[in-house]
Chain A
Amino acid sequence: MKYQGKAHVFGDDINTDYIISGKYKFKTLDMKELAKHVMEDLDPEFYEKVQDGDFLVAGRNFGCGSSREQAPLALKHAGIRAVLARSFARLFYRNAINTGLPVVECDTDEISPGDRLEVDLEAGKIRNLTTGKVLTSKPLPPVMLKILGDGGLAAHFLKYGDFHLTGEME
């Protein structure tokens, strides 16, 4: 499936406190409410700027810091379709797949704020419609592809009642 949207660009080492501050996440399980505060310490207008289906683009080590799953969930509820980064911190990466937020590891240096992107998750291709450049993403490990394909780990468990990953383990 191909998705089109606008790029919102951030730098390296965006931690989960920046994505959603601890002062909000402890108070509620209402992700729509949390989404209003997503990225606000770095860009107070972020939530207002994001259109449904846009992409968050970042540098190295995106999502470092805490284990809070509210980080990918708040991004998803703010309308972010996928996160593209040069690299991801392990916990965010796992949590994003588990909650069904696609994460794309690719060279993001040549994506500028406002560029329109077309992301093809299956093919691992990112077309920058503004510049015409095409990027290739690092493929997801088979286990993660399976979980993402099932719609996240909750949907996977709902379907199988347990881990059902034998075919995906090398």
Chain B
Amino acid sequence: MGKTIAEKILSTHSGQDARAGDTVVAELDHVMGQDGTSPLTIDVFRKMGGRTVAYPERVSLVIDHSAPSPNEGVSSLHKLMRDFAREQGVRLYDIGSGVCHQLIPEQGHVFPGALVVGADSHSCTYGALNAFSTGVGSTDMAAALISGKMWFRVPETIRLLINGTLQPGVFSKDLILHLVGDMTADGATYCAVEFAGEAIQALSIEARFTITNMAIEMGAKAGLMEADEKTLRWVNERYHGPCQPVSPDPDAEYREVREYDASRLEPQVAVPHRVDRVVPVGEVEGTPIQQAVIGTCTNGRLEDLRVAARILKGKKVNPDVRLIVAPASRRVLLDAIADGTLTTIIEAGGAVVTPGCGPCVGTHNGVPSNGENVISTANRNFKGRMANSNAFIFLASPATVAASALEGKIVDPRKYWQYESGAGVVRGGSG
């Protein structure tokens, strides 16, 4: 019987014939921690008897969740990370560098066939590059720092085959929201999910990250894609070591295979307070909003900002809406400055904040008021997620968020995203 991507990567890294249900101890290629989890990791590292990090070159610590620090409690935890990084010789990405899940691939720490863990649940993002990557807690991360290894239960795999072509104005975010809604919040618990099919192949690498980023929202341990020419080109520009792309065998055993048709998909919105409560945008059209957020590890990449800028160009954000834009990294910020994307967004009324996670996780940079509605490109809309349990969070694509920011209510972005037939240029919006 053949193997899935997950079984193959866990086999090569454990030296065993790993099959779903087995337990293995495997060597890690990279270990990541952020400022919400690393301070506890460092504390546990010492309590575990840790003296030195086994492979400092394979470790990245990222200060992104509260960056720059909004209060002295956070400041002292940041200092703990900086001191530890200096002492152990591990890489530290300090404030302004960006969101961990943008930085780790962008800085060349992930490659096809790699095994990566991150002390952040959205570490499944790197699966878009054909790496098995999963979120862990602080104690697991401390054990990984000491030993360079982690124990894994080899997961069963669910294969989601996406046929067809996304229509103009419909994006990978709409697709993954639809998939999460269909699979439900625990539909893939303990499983790996392979995303495949022509609709996935047609996506850019940036758009693919949006899909694997949200695998955890269906409970998955990892979201995986095969490496194609686009993947290898993207990786080769950033990573210069050896790598071995991994494909599933034709006779691999899956727990389930589901097929979808992307061609019929409309823009989607996840409504409060559940990520799997997903509806076509038409069902919530007209809902007033007071804040709009574009950014996060799901949708803060250059392509996302360009989509927003294209909709915002020459227009003004509704006076009753605050539009907050957080580019996913310093690189993204620089690129968005260089090509004029950011100028367009700022001229439209957007408030640009330091690359980081702030607004999504409620640490700072845009806490909503009681009773307010927020539309965001983030991946979670839990009650209280943005630090106010009396606010309501809707999740959507950058296009839907930008269009809604213009009108002060949730709208279908397709009216701002019309093409001249065959010409592929924007005709402009109706707002």
B20 at the interface (CB under 8 A from A): no
Are the CB atoms of A70 and B147 closer together than 8 Å? Answer: no
Taking a contact as CB atoms closer than 8 A, the residue among A26, A60, A69, A73 that contacts B65 in the complex is A26
Bound-state Cα–Cα, A66 to B122, Å? 8
Chain B residue contacts of A61, Cβ below 8 A: 185-186, 189, 219
Are the CB atoms of A91 and B136 closer together than 8 Å? Answer: yes
Taking a contact as CB atoms closer than 8 A, the residue among B44, B73, B190, B387 that contacts A90 in the complex is B190
Q: Which of B32-40, B167-175, B237-245, B408-416 contacts A (4 or more CB under 8 A)?
A: B32-40
Chain B residue contacts of A70, Cβ below 8 A: 40
Given A21-B384, A26-B65, A94:B142 Cβ within 8 A: no
Bound-state Cα–Cα, A17 to B121, Å? 12
A132 at the interface (CB under 8 A from B): no
A1 at the interface (CB under 8 A from B): no
Chain A residue contacts of B121, Cβ below 8 A: 65-67, 91
Given A168-B23, A170-B23, A13:B384 Cβ within 8 A: no
Are the CB atoms of A27 and B153 closer together than 8 Å? Answer: no
Are the CB atoms of B146 and A157 closer together than 8 Å? Answer: yes
Given A17-B380, A61-B189, A141-B23, A163:B385 Cβ within 8 A: no
Are the CB atoms of A152 and B149 closer together than 8 Å? Answer: no
Are the CB atoms of B221 and A29 closer together than 8 Å? Answer: no
Chain A residue contacts of B21, Cβ below 8 A: 170
Chain A residue contacts of B142, Cβ below 8 A: 154, 157
Chain A residue contacts of B190, Cβ below 8 A: 90
Please give the number of chain B residues whose Cβ is less than 8 angstroms from any Cβ of chain A in the complex.
57
B22 at the interface (CB under 8 A from A): yes
Taking a contact as CB atoms closer than 8 A, the residue among A13, A154, A162, A168 that contacts B185 in the complex is A13
B422 at the interface (CB under 8 A from A): no
Chain B residue contacts of A128, Cβ below 8 A: none
In this complex, the interface size class of chain A, counting residues with CB under 8 Å from chain B, is 35 or more
Q: Mark A47-75, 1 if CB is under 8 A from B, else 0.
A: 00000000000001100111111100100
Are the CB atoms of A162 and B147 closer together than 8 Å? Answer: yes
Which of chain A's residues has its CB closest to B142's CB? A154
Taking a contact as CB atoms closer than 8 A, the residue among A41, A69, A90, A142 that contacts B384 in the complex is A41
A87 at the interface (CB under 8 A from B): yes
Interface centre among A29, A95, A170, by most chain B C-beta atoms within 10 angstroms, is A29
Q: Mark A61-102, 1 if CB is under 8 A from B, else 0.
A: 100111111100100000000000001011100110011000
Are the CB atoms of A67 and B135 closer together than 8 Å? Answer: yes
A6 at the interface (CB under 8 A from B): no
Are the CB atoms of B382 and A154 closer together than 8 Å? Answer: no
Taking a contact as CB atoms closer than 8 A, the residue among A23, A87, A169 that contacts B189 in the complex is A87
Bound-state Cα–Cα, A57 to B326, Å? 38
Chain B residue contacts of A123, Cβ below 8 A: none
B40-96 interface (Cβ within 8 A of A): 40, 43-44, 47-50, 65-66, 71, 73-74, 77
Chain B residue contacts of A29, Cβ below 8 A: 39-40, 43, 77
B120 at the interface (CB under 8 A from A): yes
Bound-state Cα–Cα, A158 to B77, Å? 24
B363 at the interface (CB under 8 A from A): yes
Q: Mark A85-129, 1 if CB is under 8 A from B, else 0.
A: 001011100110011000000000000000000000000000000
Are the CB atoms of B385 and A169 closer together than 8 Å? Answer: no
Chain B residue contacts of A64, Cβ below 8 A: 185-186, 219
Are the CB atoms of A163 and B137 closer together than 8 Å? Answer: no
Given A23-B362, A61-B186, A157-B49, A95:B23 Cβ within 8 A: no
B183 at the interface (CB under 8 A from A): no
A152-B139, A163-B151, A170-B21 are known; give 14 further A-B pairs, CB within 8 A.
A17-B385, A18-B384, A22-B363, A27-B74, A61-B186, A61-B189, A66-B120, A69-B37, A94-B136, A95-B137, A98-B139, A153-B48, A154-B139, A169-B24
